[in-house]
Amino acid sequence: MPMPSKDIGDAAQKAEQGIMQYAYAYGLNPVPPALTATLISAQHLRPFQTLPMLFAPVLLFSSYLNVNGYKKDAAGVTSAWSAAYVLLALRRKQQFTSKFGTRGLVRGATLGLCVANVVSGGLAYAFSKREDPK
């Protein structure tokens, strides 16, 4: 069990980090777009649906951009394409009984992750500075 910190400044600094900092850090992370692409593929690969499957390669490319140092651009791409997927997915109506099956839970997780990507990616895109990757 970790011992309480004697340095009050360090503990206060950690306590100051709020939800905006967590969302900002989440938006700069390369994992959420890759996870979103995985869930989208799991939903729409069988039976194959062309339009939703166009989102997965773009989100994977966004992760690639992020790993290569284009964090602000990757956050913007992730946010925009996740918002487009949410709009597309909310057009489909789902019966109440199918919301609690495996497909319904995967759909709900995908939409929740997309909403988190929209908020955090938009925040990261708006407030981060473009760095020159070298």
Tens place of pLDDT per residue across the chain (134 aa): 455 555 555 655 665 678 899 999 999 999 999 999 999 999 999 999 999 999 999 999 999 999 999 999 999 999 999 999 999 999 987 777 677 888 889 999 999 999 999 999 999 999 998 877 66
Q: What are phi and psi of 11, to 5 degrees?
A: -65, -40
Which pLDDT does position 5 carry in this prediction? 54
User: Which range of residues forms the domain containing residue 49?
Assistant: 22-127
How many structural domains is the chain composed of?
1
Q: What is the DSSP letter of 49?
A: -
In a domain, 17, yes or no: no
Q: Which amino acid makes up residue 62? A: S
In a domain, 57, yes or no: yes
In a domain, 102, yes or no: yes
In a domain, 31, yes or no: yes
In a domain, 52, yes or no: yes
Q: What is the DSSP letter of 60?
A: H
In a domain, 7, yes or no: no
In a domain, 59, yes or no: yes
Which pLDDT does position 94 carry in this prediction? 74
In a domain, 83, yes or no: yes
Q: How many residues does the chain have?
A: 134
Is 134 exposed, middle or buried (CB count within 10 Å of its CB: 0-12, 13-18, 19+)? exposed
Start-to-end C-alpha separation, the chain: 41
Contact call for residues 6 and 90 (beta carbons, < 8 A): no
